Structure 1
Amino acid sequence: MMDAMPQITSSPVDTAGRDTPTETTDDRISLLSTDWPVYSPFAREYFARGFAEGFATGLAEGREEGRAAGLAAALMTALYARRIDVPDDLRARISACTDPAQLHTWLTRVLAIPVLDEVFRG
């Protein structure tokens, strides 16, 4: 069974003498719900376009976060393999870093530079 479209009722009269449409709280909630059917072709097009753009943005952000997490794990593995003791503040700095380029730079340095302080400069 299809839900009915939210009903807009007229309130008495606004200060300019025009009828003003009002919605009940339930009507507004149903408009924000993802379950309500999109009736008009215009609404369908723009709803679909907004959904697709939001999905693509979220996917790209998720991939970027995944790259950063993977590089941080690789960096910690490289430090462990080199038997380098990682202080808690540095471990927190690595975990908090969300820039894959910076993490890649640190990973490259940790494989080439023997001194820990030089790896994480700048």
Structure 2
Amino acid sequence: MSTTVGSEFRSELLREVEARGEARGEARGEARAVLAVLEIRGVPVPDAVHERILGCTDLAQLDIWLRRAVTATTIEDVVSG
């Protein structure tokens, strides 16, 4: 019985690790989308802000930045507010 319990625990732990990895990957993709939109629109992004965007793991924040990037004329239009 302890083998089953141990196996169930490992399976749950593996699911949690996979979910965290998936969330990080999704955030990384969203961050890259923000930066791609800004690049295409010709909005300069200082290195510090570039790293801030890439380091963000909050999908809601990244979504806000992506939506702002579509109409932004400056980086402040994206990350301020």
Do they fold alike, i.e. is TM over 0.5? yes
Q: Percent identity?
A: 32
Q: For the aligned residues, what is the CA RMSD?
A: 1.2
The structure 2 residue matched to 1:113, chosen from 72, 77, 81, is 72
The 1-side partners of 2:4 and 2:71 are apart by: 53
Distance 1:97 1:52 in 2: 28
Matched, 1:47 2:6: yes
Post-superposition offset of 1:48:
1.0
Q: Which one has more relative contact order, counting CA pairs under 8 Å at least 6 apart?
A: 2
Q: Distance in 2 between matches of 1:86 and 1:113?
A: 12
Matched residue SS, 1:86: coil
Counterparts of 1:101 and 1:109, CA distance in 2: 13
Aligned position for 1:102: 61
Paired residues in the alignment total 81
* Structure 2 CA distance for aligned equivalents of residues 86 and 49 of structure 1: 46
Q: Which of 56, 65, 68 is equivalent to 2:15?
A: 56
Structure 1: give runs of 5+ residues left out of the alignment: 1-41
Larger Rg: 1
Q: Which residue of 1 aligns with 2:28?
A: 69
Unmatched tracts of structure 2, length 5 or more: none
- Contact preservation (8 Å) 2:43, 2:74: no
Give the C-alpha shift of residue 114 in structure 1. 2.8
Q: Residue 115 of structure 1: CA displacement? A: 3.4
Paired residue type of 1:101 = A
Aligned equivalents of 1:72 and 1:82: distance in 2?
16
TM-score (norm 1): 0.62
Moved over 2 A (4+): 112-116
